Amino acid sequence: MDSDTGTIAKVSAARHLRADHQRVFFILLSFAILVLACSRTGNDERAYFVKRGPSYLVEMKGRRRLLAHDPLSAIRGRTYEETLTIELPRIEGVIEGAEIPVRSGYLRYAGRVAITNRKMKVDLYYQGDANARVALLWNGDYTLVQRDTSSVP
């Protein structure tokens, strides 16, 4: 009977050790997810515009998370700055996505940009084949600031 008790004790100890490892893994995984969720990504609150001919160039900036190819890089949560510049026909009112010019070979915009009193709400989508729509990461609310171009020749 003593050998059975010893075997049972070993099995029980192994189960407890495995449960402890699972708890540690769960805690580490939870911490990694928390770090990723808290890394500063998103769009800046301000967007800058300049008049160019009959239209306006609006520049939006934001922070994006680097794609990670290994767990350590994913936990570090590094980011980079990205910029989108769109050409708008006016700087006030509602601009439909179809009014925004795009380069040849690029998907057209659907949705709209609404501007009132230097406040801009972007609600744009890439319009693909078969009417598939993909929301832009740039959607959201911005305060428009006119960029000073007096020092530019």
pTM of the model: 0.68
> Average pLDDT for consecutive 10-residue bins of the chain (153 residues)?
60 65 66 57 94 96 78 70 96 96 91 97 88 89 89 54
For 23, how many CA atoms within 13 A lie in the half-sphere containing its CB? 6
- For residue 4, what pLDDT is reported? 61
Identify the residue whose tokens are 């598939």. 132
Q: DSSP letters of 31-55?
A: HHHHHHHHS--EEEEEEEEEEETTE
- For residue 130, what pLDDT is reported? 75
d(CA 153, CA 150) in angstroms, rounded, equals 8
